[in-house]
Structure 1
Amino acid sequence: NRNKCQYCRFHKCLAVGMSHNAIRFGRMPQSEKLKLRAELQIPEKEERKMQLDDWKTLASQIHEAYLKQFHLNKAKARGFLTGKTDMPPFVIHDLETLQQAQPVLVTQMLSEGREDFAVVQGQETEDRIFHCCQYISVETVTQLTEFAKAVPGFPSLDLNDQVTLLKYGVHEAFFALLASCMNEDGMLVARGSGFITREFLKSLRKPFSDMIESKFQFAMRFNALELDDSDL
């Protein structure tokens, strides 16, 4: 009958709201119950430990890839921004200092040498700075792509999935990285060789000045979290 059929009894208990453990341990003596629970917990603890070890290994691999691919990580950027470096960045705060910084900064940032330098030098101030920002964006996207390739499991995804993940994740990653190079007074450029003040950027014509100012506002809120390179 139904009371003797363990299967029927099991489902009848479930139907009235009893938990699996209550059904399993309900009529078992306390000593047997404790013994069985202890035996069940051992493999669960081992499984949790193995899972934790796997997560730690994955986090370590991602952190190493991050440090390898990004030339100016947060620790290095903080060193420049707090003056804890042997070569402090050249401060650009007006048109004159921008002119003085151009030969060094543009040559370092642009890969094609004097021809590109001549083109940039002939542009208006906003266009020159936009050209530098454009270079930073392209370089960062390249670094993000190489970083993604180093993340375990990413290269094994379908190529279309890889492209989709990069396409929709690149802006969030870019702004998180850009925030590391900013403080309330300005931002680092040319891998830490230069520092453009916030006030100078705000003095540029719109919409460039508004576009940059919104990035500063985000960076201040993001940096308030005090994340380090391993967190990023």
Structure 2
Amino acid sequence: MACGAELRERHSVLVSMLEARRESSDSGCSSDESSDPERETNCSCDSQGFFRRSIQQKIQYRPCTKNQQCSILRINRNRCQYCRLKKCIAVGMSRDAVRFGRVPKREKARILAAMQQSSSSRAHEQAAAAELEDAPRLLARVVRAHLDTCEFTRDRVAAMRARARDCPTYSQPTLACPLNPAPELQSEKEFSQRFAHVIRGVIDFAGLIPGFQLLTQDDKFTRKMTNS
């Protein structure tokens, strides 16, 4: 929960910074200025600096004498500080932006990616929770996962036995390991190959269980090993 709160807080900072750039563009940066990266950065920082000083110093500006309807442009933005501060707030600047300051591009990308992942995880968790509360649906999903991944279901075994009976060399079943019916010793590689499809079946079955994909990689591995 703390991590999610921090991500939301940092996300609000990004929104504030992006809105601040748009606000500074609306505040009178000409096309020549905005085409120059250095001038554009200075223009954006001017508005952010004004807002930061206003908040940190708790400045009380003189009320607007024009019904708070001043048009704030770059050439006249200092005429009415009251309306300028009001516009900063209107475009989304917040105290979080004052506290954190500018956010580097890499940090911005990391925060946005984390926010997107967090949002996606919450959506999956909500969907899984709803499905887990529906017992008949959950049971149906588990049964379907078993039928789709197990090689020895009743119907498949019946089909195997039917094909075996049609074979001239068919013999009655004996007490032998189904993975190693031959008495001769096998190499370690051959032994592992016989188990590979069984392990794959366990992995595929687990992946189809509702909520399993929400576990961490370590938890997934532990549960697969304890149930193999």
Q: Find the structure with the greater CA-based Rg.
A: 2
TM-score (norm 1): 0.31
TM-score (norm 2): 0.32
Of structures 1 and 2, the one with the larger relative CO (CA 8 A, separation 6+) is 1
